[in-house]
């Protein structure tokens, strides 16, 4: 069945081509069926690959599609790799992706660019599958750049909305530019690898590093630190995380698919794939672990003070990605991949549930306006917003528990799973990461393990608190706007995927339960570095107690003293004061970048545009040097040369011809026949004379 793996790319590619070519003539139902069916078919292929591996004793297989690049000693085939790590990612991308496609049919109903949206979604799935199925770093990079392009297209999908009607377009541009910074690091790492190994094939590269060991420790450190730069961009880590919150400008299915479940995990996948290289670079491993833990803590504190329902989840995503990065930096590759999977379940659930809330509030706003005008309710497409009601601001919500019951329950499941409460999926995966950090710090005696454990434990506390805050502000209390008061539940196309993801969020921990270690035994067939540690009861109990304490504190702060109206200050503002404002301002990171990098860049751009390009090049070089020299030369050529020389020469020649004609030829024209006969006779005599002489 391995020969079927190319179909995993062919199906979503066919879906996007069909909708791109015929979407304008198809209705929404058929467009959605084509796009969702293509992704679901790819999921079936991924399942078949999993079964094929099980029947092949988990031996990695490669399937050659075409010879791709052959330049000198460089030979790179377009070849797909089927091993336990790649198949895990294939199942995730296609499985969760299919659910999000189905959800998007209902969410995007009424959008004028409905077909284009699903073309972009299928294109993203195709590029993500290229990323995870490639057999070399360059194929991985093609998919890496492809999902970056799709992210840009989908973040700015509603490009004519946002601040000044261009805010969403700016958000897409910001994501694209920030990711290019990380991509540069990835590119340089590939150059170093090819220079040392002469190949970019995974087997060749990883065998080279394993074979040479400590001899190439310096090279391994350089390569892995550059890989970290790439991962920091794609997986939104310090200092390149600033693009992800702004990426919430895209439609909510985009936030769920790209910026929570799949694309942002590409950095973790790349590090896990390169585990043999990282094992030779302890400095890089420590840096990765500390960077991930710092990101988890920082983003967790920022999420506490946000009011936009999707921005809270965006910073939560950054924080959870920090958990995964810290895990793989500690060598806990299984723990990192385990959390990657469970996080995809409950964070996709939370984003889609948030979209359900936004959709319901938007329809509530439309219903309240229609009631005020005394007309029937109207169809209200996603993405539209009322000037007086921000449908994403949690201060405008409240009381939705009784109006959107199904959304409330699935949202609650996702929040509890994210908070790491037993026995939901988040508890098992997050606990395994904390256990890895505890083991590295307390058992192996590495100081950075202790630091990582403390930072991640604090991040877990903040996670439980801000999710409690969100649940209370959105679903409990009284409605704080007419839009919330008139909100209604969404259709089954949107709610059915939520129920499935909620079930996965509850049962997802079974993927790697203590004692079974199913995921560990599955992944260790790819790398022997994929190992785990035993369940740590004390770590699990302490993390659970801390999470429950944070939930209790959140209920006490926000449920016992609910917001009275949408303009009332946040309950924490009175307690924390300027600290809350600092967190709400996102640690002023964007302002810091604006004051340093962006301001310097804009100054350089203005300097190059006005002083260099306009004043120097245009005014001085072009106008004064080139144009003035041209005018001087042209004046000299047109005056002394053309008029004074050439014109006079030809005028004189004409005068000479005229004088010759007047003085010599004109007298010969006498008008007498005898003169002409004499001329003819003289001519005949001259000709005869010449003939006699010759």
Residue that wins the pLDDT comparison between 602 and 616:
616
**Backbone φ and ψ of 290, nearest 5°:** -70, -40
Of the pLDDT bands very low, low, confident and very high (cuts 50, 70, 90), residue 237 is very high
Please say whether the beta carbons of 233 and 181 come within 8 A.
yes
pLDDT of residue 388: 58
Q: What is the DSSP string of 8-37?
A: HHHHHHHHHHHHHHHGGGS-HHHHHHHHHH
Indicate whether 123 belongs to any domain: no
Residue owning tokens 């005008």:
373
Which has the minimum average pLDDT: 223-227, 486-490, 492-496, 528-532? 528-532
Please say whether the beta carbons of 265 and 344 come within 8 A.
yes
Residue owning tokens 């959107």:
404
pLDDT of residue 47: 95
Indicate whether 47 belongs to any domain: no
Query: Residue 575 pLDDT more than 90?
Result: no
Which has the minimum average pLDDT: 328-332, 430-434, 464-468, 534-538? 534-538
Which has the minimum average pLDDT: 199-208, 478-487, 557-566? 557-566
pLDDT of residue 421: 92
Query: Residue 656 pLDDT more than 60?
Result: yes
Counted domains in the chain: 2
Q: What is the DSSP string of 428-495?
A: HHHHHHHHHHHIIIIIS--HHHHHHHHHHHHHHHHHHHHHHHHHHHHHSS--SSHHHHT--PPPHHHH
Indicate whether 80 belongs to any domain: no
Q: Mean pLDDT, to the nearest integer, of 238-243? A: 91
Point out the domain boundary residue: 534, 556, 584.
584
Query: Residue 517 pLDDT more than 90?
Result: no
Chain centroid to CA 581: 29
At residue 393's C-alpha, the angle toward residues 390 and 399, to 5°, is 105
Query: Residue 349 pLDDT more than 70?
Result: yes
320 and 339 within one domain: yes
Indicate whether 665 belongs to any domain: yes
Of the pLDDT bands very low, low, confident and very high (cuts 50, 70, 90), residue 338 is very high
Indicate whether 7 belongs to any domain: no
Give pLDDT tens digits for 104-125. 999 998 889 999 999 999 999 9
3-state helix/strand/coil string of 293-353? HHHHHHHHHHHCCCCEHHHHHHHHHHHHHHHHHHHHHCCCHHHHHHHHHHHHHHHHHHHHH
Percentage of the chain exceeding pLDDT 70 = 97
503 and 625 within one domain: no
Query: Maximum CA pair distance of the chain?
Result: 142
Query: Residue 687 pLDDT more than 70?
Result: yes
pLDDT of residue 385: 47
Helices and strands in the chain: count of H runs, count of E runs: 30, 2
Q: Mean pLDDT, to the nearest integer, of 332-345? A: 93
531 and 597 within one domain: no
634 and 569 within one domain: no
Of the pLDDT bands very low, low, confident and very high (cuts 50, 70, 90), residue 70 is confident
Query: Residue 260 pLDDT more than 80?
Result: no
Of the pLDDT bands very low, low, confident and very high (cuts 50, 70, 90), residue 371 is low
557 and 422 within one domain: yes
Q: What is the dihedral of CA 322, 323, 328, 332, to 10 degrees?
A: 170
Alpha-carbon distance 103 to 256, whole Å? 10
Indicate whether 345 belongs to any domain: yes
- In terms of Cβ atoms closer than 10 Å to its own Cβ (0-12, 13-18, 19+), residue 661 is exposed
Chain centroid to CA 584: 24
Residues pairing with 386 in the sheet: 389
Please say whether the beta carbons of 512 and 519 come within 8 A.
yes
Please say whether the beta carbons of 330 and 440 come within 8 A.
yes
Alpha-carbon distance 52 to 658, whole Å? 102
Residues in the chain: 694
Which has the minimum average pLDDT: 112-126, 201-215, 354-368, 376-390? 376-390
625 and 541 within one domain: no
Q: Mean pLDDT, to the nearest integer, of 429-440? A: 93
Give pLDDT tens digits for 610-641. 888 888 888 888 888 888 888 888 888 787 88
Indicate whether 650 belongs to any domain: yes
**Backbone φ and ψ of 80, nearest 5°:** -95, 140
596 and 573 within one domain: no
Alpha-carbon distance 128 to 122, whole Å? 10
pLDDT of residue 387: 44
508 and 595 within one domain: no
Alpha-carbon distance 56 to 365, whole Å? 56
Q: Which two tokens stand for residue 633?
A: 């030369």
Residue that wins the pLDDT comparison between 36 and 566:
36
Residue owning tokens 């003289």:
682
Nearest to 84 by CA among 52, 60, 57: 60
604 and 562 within one domain: no
pLDDT of residue 259: 79
Alpha-carbon distance 400 to 413, whole Å? 16
Which has the minimum average pLDDT: 162-166, 330-334, 614-618? 162-166
632 and 554 within one domain: no
522 and 412 within one domain: yes
Query: Residue 368 pLDDT more than 80?
Result: no
Q: Mean pLDDT, to the nearest integer, of 47-55? A: 93
603 and 568 within one domain: no
Query: Residue 380 pLDDT more than 70?
Result: no
pLDDT of residue 678: 84
Average pLDDT over the chain, rounded to an integer = 89
Alpha-carbon distance 83 to 462, whole Å? 37
Indicate whether 157 belongs to any domain: no
**Backbone φ and ψ of 551, nearest 5°:** -65, -45
Q: What is the dihedral of CA 164, 166, 167, 170, to 10 degrees?
A: -140
Point out the domain boundary residue: 584, 599, 619.
584
- In terms of Cβ atoms closer than 10 Å to its own Cβ (0-12, 13-18, 19+), residue 374 is exposed
Range of the domain at 362: 295-371+405-584
Percentage of the chain exceeding pLDDT 90 = 57
Point out the domain boundary residue: 553, 584, 615.
584
Residue that wins the pLDDT comparison between 679 and 685:
685
Alpha-carbon distance 456 to 555, whole Å? 22
């Amino acid at each position: 069945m391995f020969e079927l793996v190319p179909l995993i790319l062919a199906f979503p590619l066919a879906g996007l081509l069909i909708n791109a070519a015929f979407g304008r003539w198809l209705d929404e139902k058929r467009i959605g069926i084509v796009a969702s069916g293509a992704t679901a078919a790819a999921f079936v292929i991924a399942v078949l690959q999993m079964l094929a591996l099980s029947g092949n004793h988990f031996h990695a297989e490669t399937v050659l599609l075409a010879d791709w690049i052959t330049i000198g000693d460089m030979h790179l085939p377009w070849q797909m790799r089927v091993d336990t790590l790649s198949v895990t990612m294939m199942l995730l991308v296609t499985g969760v992706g299919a659910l999000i496609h189905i959800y998007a049919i209902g969410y995007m109903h009424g959008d004028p660019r409905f077909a284009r949206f699903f073309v972009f979604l299928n294109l993203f799935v195709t590029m993500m599958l290229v990323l995870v199925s490639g057999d070399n770093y360059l194929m991985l990079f093609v998919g890496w750049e492809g999902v970056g392009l799709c992210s840009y297209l989908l973040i700015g999908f509603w490009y004519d909305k946002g601040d000044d009607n261009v805010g969403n377009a700016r958000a897409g541009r910001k994501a694209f530019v920030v990711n290019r910074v990380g991509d540069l690091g990835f590119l340089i790492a590939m150059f170093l690898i090819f220079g040392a190994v002469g190949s970019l094939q995974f087997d060749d590269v990883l065998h080279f590093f394993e074979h040479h060991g400590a001899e190439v420790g310096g090279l391994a450190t350089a390569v892995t630190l550059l890989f970290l730069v790439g991962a920091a961009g794609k997986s939104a880590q310090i200092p390149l995380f600033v693009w992800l919150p702004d990426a919430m400008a895209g439609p909510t299915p985009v936030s769920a698919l790209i910026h929570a479940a799949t694309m942002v995990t590409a950095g973790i996948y790349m590090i896990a794939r390169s585990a043999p290289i990282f094992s030779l670079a302890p400095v890089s491993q420590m840096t990765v672990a500390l960077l991930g833990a710092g990101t988890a803590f920082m983003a967790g504190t920022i999420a506490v003070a946000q009011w936009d329902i999707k921005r809270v989840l965006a910073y939560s995503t950054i924080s959870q990605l920090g958990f995964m990065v810290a895990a793989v930096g500690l060598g806990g590759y299984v723990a990192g991949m385990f959390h990657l999977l469970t996080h995809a379940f409950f964070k996709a659930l939370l984003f889609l549930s948030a979209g359900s809330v936004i959709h319901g509030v938007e329809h509530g706003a439309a219903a309240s306006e229609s009631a005020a005008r005394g007309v029937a309710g109207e169809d209200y497409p996603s993405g539209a917003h009322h000037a007086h009601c921000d449908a994403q601001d949690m201060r405008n919500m409240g009381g939705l528990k009784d109006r959107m019951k199904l959304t409330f329950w699935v949202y609650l499941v996702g929040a509890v799973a994210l908070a790491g409460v037993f026995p939901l999926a988040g508890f098992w995966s997050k606990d395994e990461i904390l256990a890895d950090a505890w083991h590295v710090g307390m058992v192996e005696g590495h100081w950075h393990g202790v630091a990582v454990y403390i930072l991640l434990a604090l991040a877990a506390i903040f996670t439980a608190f801000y999710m409690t805050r969100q649940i209370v502000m959105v679903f409990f209390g009284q409605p704080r706007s007419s839009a919330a008061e008139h909100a209604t539940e969404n259709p089954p196309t949107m709610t059915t995927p939520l129920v499935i993801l909620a079930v996965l969020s509850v049962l997802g921990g079974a993927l790697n339960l203590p004692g079974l270690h199913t995921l560990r035994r599955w992944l260790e067939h790819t790398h022997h570095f994929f190992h785990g540690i035993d369940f740590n009861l004390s770590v699990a109990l302490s993390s659970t107690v801390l999470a429950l304490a944070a939930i209790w504190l959140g209920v006490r702060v926000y449920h016992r003293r609910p917001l009275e109206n949408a303009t009332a200050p946040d309950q924490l503002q009175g307690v924390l004061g300027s600290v809350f404002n600092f967190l709400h301002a996102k640690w002023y990171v964007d302002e810091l970048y604006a004051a340093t990098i962006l301001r310097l860049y804009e100054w350089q751009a203005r300097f190059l545009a006005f002083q260099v390009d306009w004043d120097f090049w245009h005014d001085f070089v072009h106008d004064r040097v080139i144009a003035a020299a041209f005018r001087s030369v042209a004046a000299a050529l047109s005056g002394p040369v053309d008029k004074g020389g050439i014109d006079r020469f030809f005028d004189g020649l004409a005068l000479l011809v005229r004088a010759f004609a007047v003085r010599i030829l004109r007298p010969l024209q006498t008008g007498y026949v005898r003169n002409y006969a004499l001329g003819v006779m003289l001519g005949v005599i001259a000709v005869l004379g010449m003939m006699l002489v010759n």
